Chains A and B, each alone.
Chain A
Amino acid sequence: MSASSHPSVTGPGARARIAVALGRAVAGISRLTGRGSGSVIGGRAALRVHPGLLRALSAGREIVLVSATNGKTTTTRLIAAALAADRAVVSNSLGANMAAGIVAALGPTAPGTTAVLEVDERWLPGVLRDTEASTVVLLNLTRDQLDRSQEVRSLAAAWRRCLAETPPHTVIANADDPLVVWAARGAPTVIWVATAQRWLADAVGCPECTGRIEFGPSSWHCTGCDLSRPIPSVTVDDTAIVIDGERSPITLGLPGRINRVNAAFALATAHSLAVPLAPAADGIAAVTEVAGRYRVTTVNGRTVRLLLAKNPAGWHEAIELLAPAPAPTVVSINSRIADGLDPSWLWDVDFEILQGRFVVATGERRHDLAVRLRYAEVDHAVADTVDEAVRICAGRPEHRPGAVIDLAANYTAFQQYFERFGGDR
């Protein structure tokens, strides 16, 4: 049963409705007892009484899945904002990106509502199978959570298989990530987006033939087989996103090069779903923060901007967002299960780029970071708490009074700070 050939007028059946109601009740209890938003635990309860719930809730909907190692939460938000220009949209916008969170997002919505769903990269095959999504957006695939994730190559292979088994109508994919290209290139229609991706260390060995991939300034090809950069139809420059030669000028509310790339994916997705370009671009431009990323807030009276960077690829994009040297910066690293227990990836990040700034290391793995900064010859201090870290930065002679202090954190550290300082959550 394909989503497009069975437009549902009745919505999900009685069993699905009961499962959704139960999930909402469990979520409500979770919220009342102060255990968070409850969407994931509610979704889990609903899936337990109705394992086919995701399939039932997906029937008759236009569904867009967004997956990647980095940028999926932001891009999901940008796509939802673009599509909202001409239709009702539902999204799992708090990053609850496995089956339970997705079910929780879809459950309470009207059956015909378009869904834009962020999907954990390991969950993509299962979610694509159940939702039979018409559109799949694939941003990148790089190393993350070294101790528990599958090797990135086996993830690429799983993506490739699922796209062959449940082919979506359209795949929108990164032309500059060889693993993504290899996974997506067999799909019936692929819209390739030029991203000028910076982190390429996970893609030097060809996923097709294990040969060496050679990277040029705006091209790449395998030296052993025919895998090479497809010609992108979507590009991005300093002032516009260009789709099939048509320029859409855009001034983003989000900072940084990487968000221009994320916006290009969003606009291309909207265009492929026949949303007019101008209002879609306006919707994208109006997004100023995503689940606390880039939020400017106060920490004990000092102005701080929250930035998320959780792995080498993410750090190489985040470092350029930081206030320029010599502005002092806080960097916070945890190593809980959601971060990966092994933070040795710190040595894959060129923290040498931070030379000329004073960096305060905090978070549960502040000492690992301090050693990394020592060897990067970055002047630094260690602070046991984020409060102390911000205080140290604010007291530095090179800190301009009133300037925003950047606080860059990996996943669970970021979540802690967002919950504590983020404001209206």
Chain B
Amino acid sequence: MTSRDSAVRICVLYPELLGTYGDGGNARVLSRRLAWRDIAAEVHTVGAGEAVPDSCDLYLVGGGEDGPQTQAARELQASGALHRAVDRGAVVFAVCAGMQILGSRFPDADGIDRPGLGLLDCVTMRVDRPRAVGELLTTDATVTGPGGSTVPLGPLTGFENHAGRTVAGSSAIALGRVEVGEGNGDGTEGVVTGRVIGTYLHGPALARNHRLADALLGLVVGADLLTPLDDADVEALRTERQAAARRDRVGSGHDSLHRRRRP
């Protein structure tokens, strides 16, 4: 379907700061899905204090706790590499705390507003409600492919664990609409500004949502659709998790002890 002379370069940013919730799995998923299609992939892991390359094709930013989140924002701001990469057309996929720091402001561990990187048109604020912890499910979601076409993703499924409320600005669009869970807090889930995509979905997100993984790779390699893979295991997981999220919402099952607020 597509051919490339060079390997797809994937950059995992600060896994020790933003890697608490298995989000490192997103890089494994992307590199395997490339390899299975005979597209070469290189994964560059950048630790705190190390130089961030500005030449990668796809950047992954994971979720983490409040303190490390602020440190990651400070380092990325000082580096400037991620801004240069986005200007060049790189794709960024950011989860939870990672999405929050890519917006224009976010609350730190003490609830004080901190400046974000401004790569996503959104702000995150602290709100007075219990932390959202549990399954998060959207209705059918789409993203815009490299040729401007609409790429269907199906429902997005994941696990959310956050306290902030995220409000998208006028130039941003939501990634999906919440069916079960909290998401951004206003019935939407995730924020998309150009090729920068943010979400509250852990799980990891790309393990549970293979079409979203392929959509990110499609943006990188310039194809709306990539060769299909054997995704029977993922489809089985998606079916089971969607049912679990809906069961959770109506309050049966042990998960309902923990939460939950209706969308």
User: What residues make up the interface of A, taking CB atoms closer than 8 Å to B?
Assistant: 143, 146-148, 151, 153, 201, 204-205, 210, 212, 336-337, 341-342, 344-348, 367-368, 370-375, 377, 382
Contact = CB atoms under 8 A, between A and B. Distances in A.
Given A344-B204, A347-B207, 6 more contacts: A147-B133, A147-B159, A341-B134, A342-B161, A345-B22, A371-B207
Given A147-B161, A212-B49, A344-B204, A371 B20 contact: no
Contacts of A148: 133, 258
Nearest to B50: A212
B112 interface: no
B203 interface: yes
A205 B159 contact: no
Contact of A204 (B16, B23, B161, B237): B16
A288 B28 CA distance: 38
Given A336-B254, A344-B202, A347-B28, A367 B20 contact: no
B255 A341 contact: yes
A343 B24 CA distance: 13
A200 to B, nearest CB: 10
Nearest to B241: A367
A308 B29 CA distance: 27
A372 B237 CA distance: 11
B17 interface: yes
Given A347-B204, A375-B28, A146 B20 contact: yes
B32 interface: yes
B207 A342 contact: no
B159 A342 contact: yes
A146 B16 contact: no
A348 B22 contact: yes
A372 B203 CA distance: 11
Nearest to B66: A151
B257 interface: yes
A201 B16 CA distance: 7
Nearest to B205: A344
B22 A346 contact: yes
Contacts of A147: 133-134, 159, 161, 258
B92 to A, nearest CB: 20
A205 B20 CA distance: 13
Contacts of A204: 16, 47
Report, nearest first, the 6 A-B pairs whose CB atoms are least far apart.
A347-B25, A344-B22, A367-B237, A347-B22, A204-B16, A370-B233
A415 B28 CA distance: 31
Given A370-B237, A375-B28, A212 B48 contact: yes
B230 to A, nearest CB: 8
B104 interface: no
B71 interface: yes
Interface string B29-65: 1001000000000000001110000000000000001
B207 A372 contact: yes
Interface string B5-26: 0000000000111011111110
A95 B201 CA distance: 34
B234 interface: yes
Nearest to A150: B65
Contacts of B202: 342, 344
Interface string B52-95: 00000000000001011001000000000000000000000000
B240 interface: yes
Residue of B15, B16, B241 contacting most chain A CB atoms (<10 Å): B16
B28 A371 contact: no
A383 to B, nearest CB: 12
Contacts of B258: 147-148, 337, 341
Contacts of B233: 367, 370-371, 373-374, 382
A385 to B, nearest CB: 15
B201 to A, nearest CB: 10
A375 B27 CA distance: 11
B1 interface: no
A375 B28 CA distance: 7
Contacts of B71: 210
Interface in B139-178: 159, 161
Contacts of B32: 375, 377
12 contacts: A148-B258, A201-B19, A205-B17, A337-B258, A341-B258, A344-B203, A344-B204, A345-B22, A346-B25, A370-B236, A371-B207, A375-B28
Contacts of A344: 21-23, 25, 159, 202-204
B67 to A, nearest CB: 8
A345 B161 CA distance: 14
A382 B232 CA distance: 11
A403 B28 CA distance: 34
A371 B237 contact: yes
Residue of A143, A146, A375 contacting most chain B CB atoms (<10 Å): A375
A348 B24 contact: yes
Nearest to B26: A347
Given A205-B48, A337-B257, A347-B28, A371 B234 contact: yes
B236 A367 contact: yes
Nearest to B248: A341
A384 to B, nearest CB: 11
A380 B211 CA distance: 23
A113 B71 CA distance: 50
Contacts of B68: 205
A367 B48 CA distance: 34
B49 A143 contact: no
